[in-house]
Structure 1
């Protein structure tokens, strides 16, 4: 991979790059997200900006970006239920996406490791959960390699269109 790689939390000034990458992700990998491209497109620019700012400012919510030469090429989020005493030991990784030209170069693994460090050191979580489409073998392999365990499968987790369903592996990592 050519260029300088940096990982950092997203900031309000990253909105345009985030929005562009989010649209790409929803269009190219609809089975990977609960949100859909059409709904995102239907939002006004102001609504998109407000949603993005809410992501950045919600307590114990982290959105990391992978930047190559200043361009956002990957992202992933982490959140935990800090307000619920019985659940605050758990966190969730969500929204993991690397643009196709940068896959297979270790960016996903590095994003994942940084989120696990945040989960342990900043959010004081004891376990991290995620879900991944059963058809996404590369992401599933990445999570297994990182030490995640599969504890189940949610059948028909997402519905795409009239008759197409996406099953998801449910995975956890003990910190």
Structure 2
């Protein structure tokens, strides 16, 4: 099968919800929400996250018709910070790892957000101990700007997160 990347729509709600919950269950650090919090979201709340606007969008990579990777983007709406946006929740299903799927996802997401007028930087946070993810982001020009110590507490254990930024107008 040929993999393709596209914006998700409200019609993708079941596939998105299933993959997101699987990701949180497998790797709780992939999201700030716990499995219980995410699964408590109504289908309608989840569907609204998939309505693409200039301020929010969710991307997916499909292997044929099967959703195998997801990531979201949220742009700030307040005037003084609307020049920046944030990537969140990148997750690749285990069966799709090692096939360049995360690259396809980041490439598609960045291609889309580079077209947003006035957007000059994209930020993200990544677990400080996730070397593969940090290397992936660095490959696309993201640079580390700091560390949020004890940023996430999972099952009583604290985890640090690295803050990274891509300056779109520095290309």
- Which of 28, 31, 37 is the equivalent residue of 1:30? 28
Structure 1 alignment gaps of length 5 or more: none
Displacement of 1:106 after TM fit?
A: 1.2
Picking from 99, 104, 112, the partner of 1:105 is 99
Equivalent position of 1:48 in the other structure: 42
**TM superposition score normalised by structure 2:** 0.92
String of CA shifts for 1:17-45, please: whole Å, max 9, x gaps: 1111011110111012101112233x2xx
Q: Equivalent residue for 2:147?
A: 153
SS of aligned partner of 2:32: coil
Contact 1:80 1:123 in 2 (8 A): no
Alignment RMSD (CA, Å)? 1.4
1:169 aligns with 2:162: yes
Aligned structure 1 segments of 4 or more residues deviating by more than 3 angstroms: none
Measure, in 1, the Cα distance between the counterparts of 2:76 and 2:66: 31
Counterpart among 129, 134, 141 of residue 128 in structure 2 = 134
Listed as ranges, the gaps of 5+ residues in structure 2 are none
The structure-2 alpha-carbon separation of the partners of 1:103 and 1:123, relative to structure 1 and needing over 3 Å to count, comes to farther
Aligned length: 167
| TM-score (structure 1 length as normaliser) | 0.90
Contact 1:126 1:174 in 2 (8 A): yes
Which sits farther off after the overlay, 88-97 or 120-129?
A: 120-129
Q: Equivalent residues in 2 for 1:84-123 (5 A)?
A: 84-122=78-116
Aligned to 2:51: 57
